[in-house]
Amino acid sequence: MSMLAIKHGAINLGQGFPNFDGPDFVKEAAIQAIKDGKNQYARGYGVPDFNNAIAARFKKDTGLVIDPEKEVTVTSGCTEAIAATMLGLINPGDEVILFAPFYDSYEATLSMAGAKVKCITLRPPDFAVPIDELKSTISKNTRAILINTPHNPTGKMFTCEELNTIASLCIENDVLVFTDEVYDKLAFEMDHISMASLPGMYERTVTMNSLGKTFSLTGWKIGWAIAPPHLTWGVRQAHSFVTFATSTPMQYAATVALQAPDSYFAELKRDYMAKKAILVQGLKDVGFKVFPSSGTYFVVVDHTPFGLENDIAFCEYLIKEVGVVAIPTSVFYLNPEDGKNLVRFTFCKDEETLRSAVERMKEKLKKK
């Protein structure tokens, strides 16, 4: 879709990367680290200062005290944290539960690990977890459940009640939880809750996160996995043969980033809420059915008022005839039919870009 956007000169509200840069204080720290000669291989599981910063941030966010040496593994983005977790902790034939729609690397890396994927579909308008279906799907044969909250692509945040139910089912059935929390600082409607912070869950949880979304530095690919030592062992075994180590100077800069004052995160949320308001109201004015987004920088809409047969046809029409890019959500489902009526827009763009995209759609997109 991004390649089509370039070809047709379309405004890209598809792929989730900001069109503005990260903060100067973090970029300057990277430049300084390079000048200071921090340019050779980093320690495999992370530069000590960065591991310490991750542990300190996790304590501030969750109240949990962790060992930065034994329970933190630095990875090349959260995507590598996901891969290392799947490859290091899932054996061929292991059963893993996914909630659809899902970030596409989940299924890919589970396939590499030889997992047996069981999928539970979250459905609009609120994308709530179908608890009865989960209870009938989870069993003593389940190795792990994968959760993403705040959730890409829907913007859903798992509620306290949902997380507690999932936690009790995992404890009852001795199931691991892999939780992708890259959008934890982009939680708008409710407070983010880390699964690892719930009673009895730290010992069975791998918490994955990254720098890119929070600091608008998606190209740096700095991520991490937090887990108790017996799970960290598996993650590190895989990590050592996937990338071995992550960019050294960027880890020093990431250390500075994670030590940012609370005001940085408050301002980040405030900026994104303003962007979200522009896009959501604009999409409603255009005529989409817009579903609630509690977190992330994504919003999902129903495109069917405009008369195209499915999400891919709609997105191609939107690019070529209207000049705006969205992402077809069928790519986020095991069964593409489940996503054929939905498309995803992102608001991680400057306000002028968002307004221009809305104006193009108001002008050229007509209900059928």
Tell me the pLDDT tens digit for each residue of 110-169. Answer: 999 999 999 999 999 999 999 999 999 999 999 999 999 999 999 999 999 999 999 999
| Structure confidence at residue 100 (pLDDT) | 97
Same domain, 50 and 174: yes
| Structure confidence at residue 180 (pLDDT) | 98
Same domain, 7 and 124: no
Same domain, 28 and 118: yes
Same domain, 10 and 29: no
Domain span at 104:
24-259
Domain end among 232, 259, 286: 259
The answer to whether 301 and 290 have CB atoms below 8 angstroms apart is yes
Task: Give the residue among 214, 218, 224 at the shortest CA–CA distance from 251.
Answer: 224
Is the pLDDT score of 1 beyond 80?
Answer: no
Percent of the chain's residues with pLDDT above 70: 100
Same domain, 236 and 283: no
| Structure confidence at residue 267 (pLDDT) | 97
Same domain, 193 and 244: yes
Average pLDDT over residues 85-89: 98
Q: In which element (H, E) is residue 346 found? A: strand 342-346
| Structure confidence at residue 278 (pLDDT) | 98
Is the pLDDT score of 2 beyond 80?
Answer: no
Average pLDDT over residues 6-33: 94
CA angle 179, 175, 95 (to 5 degrees): 90
pLDDT confidence of 55, banded at 50, 70, 90?
Answer: very high
CA angle 51, 256, 203 (to 5 degrees): 30
pLDDT confidence of 48, banded at 50, 70, 90?
Answer: very high
Sheet of 298-302: strand order equals 289-290, 298-302, 342-346, 327-328
Same domain, 273 and 228: no
Average pLDDT over residues 10-35: 95
Same domain, 191 and 340: no
Domain end among 234, 259, 284: 259
**How many domains would you assign to the chain?**
2
Rounded-to-integer distance, Cα 127 and Cα 123, Å:
4
Domain end among 225, 259, 293: 259
Same domain, 68 and 172: yes
The enclosing domain of 276 has a CATH number of 3.90.1150.10
Q: Are strands 142-148 and 176-180 parallel, antiparallel or unpaired?
A: parallel
Same domain, 353 and 293: yes
The answer to whether 178 and 207 have CB atoms below 8 angstroms apart is no
Calculate the dihedral angle through the C-alpha atoms of 93, 96, 99, 105, rounding to the nearest 10 degrees.
-70
| Structure confidence at residue 15 (pLDDT) | 86
